[in-house]
């Protein structure tokens, strides 16, 4: 699903959707008999979105031709509020995962200073070179979902810590697919919902690390940045993210709050 609206004060260009403001997007994998109710729930989400009223909603359904790849969810942890701020926590985690200072600076600009994108920006983890072709659209990770078994096991693990919400489950599903992408180094995310201020850093070694207070309440900024290794083949990585169907089939556990040091100590690369 993709919901957007025309920017205020500008006359829409003829037939163009390119300059539209992103309101909401969602994607999933479901059985054919669930398609109607899933599409209905996406429609409802688009129409009641805290980012405002869309004037265009597109829902696309595709029949999958290949069996989804089954992966485990990343292990989940939440960090304690960092004394030097959430950005410092993000910086320490991403540096540990192998992201350079210059790539980090670029990522923060994209997340907190730029126009909200519909998808994710993709940067080389060392040079910070921006790879994706369309800087407003970015790369949209699609064809993601959970098997019934995966949903049960993830819901149970998250539920023990009171975080079994749609937002967390969907973000964990996306991050677990991204972590399985060839050439991926790490991901950073801040929600674009004005009232949702918890973001995350994820990587194959760190897992899914939730970071409270990454932005001010009420701010409609946010975004995602994927960091790729310098040697990653762009076409392979982007094709995996956009097209390969991936489903979460099991949880890998969930812990309560930890300090950044504790997370770095238990991380594996
Ligand atoms: N593929 C690529 N980028 C995406 C996708 C996607 N499928 N969906 C969203 N984005 C980008 C886009 O730029 C959005 O503006 C940005 O990410 C944020 O999307 O555990 O709600 O859907 O409590 O607002 C994190 C949960 C929630 C933390 C993230 O993201 C937690 C969230 P949102
Ligand atoms: Mg959002």
**From the CA of 196, which ligand is nearest?**
1
Cα end-to-end span (Å), the chain: 35
Nearest CA residue ID for atom 22, ligand 1? 191
Query: How far apart are the CA of 28 and the centre of ligand 1, in A?
Result: 14
Q: What's this model's pTM, rounded to 2 decimal places?
A: 0.95
Between CA 74 and CA 49 the distance in angstroms is 28
Distance, in Å, from the CA atom of 123 to the CA atom of 128, rounded to the nearest integer, reads: 5
Compute the residue count for the chain: 269
Encode the chain (269 residues) as per-residue pLDDT tens digits. 999 998 876 554 444 445 788 999 999 999 999 999 999 999 999 999 988 899 999 999 999 999 999 999 999 999 998 778 999 999 999 999 999 999 999 999 999 998 899 999 999 999 999 999 898 899 999 999 999 999 999 999 999 999 999 999 999 999 999 999 999 999 999 999 999 999 999 999 999 999 999 999 999 999 999 999 999 999 999 999 999 999 999 999 999 999 999 999 998 65
Assess contact for 114 and 223: CB atoms under 8 A. yes
* Ligand found nearest the CA of 21: 1
CA distances from 30 to 74, 108, 191 (A): 21, 34, 24
The CA-CA-CA angle for residues 170, 196, 72, to 5°, reads: 25
């Amino acid at each position: 699903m993709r919901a957007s609206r025309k920017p205020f004060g500008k006359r829409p260009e003829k037939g163009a959707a390119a300059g539209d403001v992103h309101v909401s997007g969602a994607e999933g994998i479901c059985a054919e008999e669930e398609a109607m109710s899933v599409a209905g729930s996406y429609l409802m989400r688009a129409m009641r979105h805290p980012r405002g009223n869309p004037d265009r909603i597109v829902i696309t359904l595709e029949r999958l031709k290949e069996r989804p790849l089954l992966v485990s969810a990343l292990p989940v942890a939440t960090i304690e509020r960092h004394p030097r701020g959430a950005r410092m926590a993000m910086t320490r985690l991403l540096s540990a995962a192998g992201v350079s200072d210059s790539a980090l600076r670029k990522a923060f600009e994209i997340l907190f200073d730029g126009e909200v994108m519909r998808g994710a920006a993709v940067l080389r983890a060392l040079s910070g070179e921006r790879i994706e072709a369309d800087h407003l659209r970015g790369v949209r990770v699609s064809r993601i979902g959970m098997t019934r078994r995966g949903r049960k096991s993830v819901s149970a693990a998250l539920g023990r810590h009171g975080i079994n919400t749609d937002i967390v489950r969907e973000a964990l599903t996306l991050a677990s697919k991204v972590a399985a992408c060839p050439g991926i180094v790490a991901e950073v995310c801040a929600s674009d919902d004005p009232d949702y201020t918890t973001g995350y850093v994820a990587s194959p070694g760190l897992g899914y690390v939730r970071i409270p207070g990454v932005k001010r309440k009420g701010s409609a900024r946010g975004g995602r940045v994927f960091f790729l290794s310098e040697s990653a083949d762009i076409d392979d990585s982007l094709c995996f993210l956009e097209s390969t169907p991936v489903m979460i089939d099991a949880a890998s556990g969930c812990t309560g709050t930890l300090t950044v040091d504790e997370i770095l100590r238990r991380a594996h690369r």
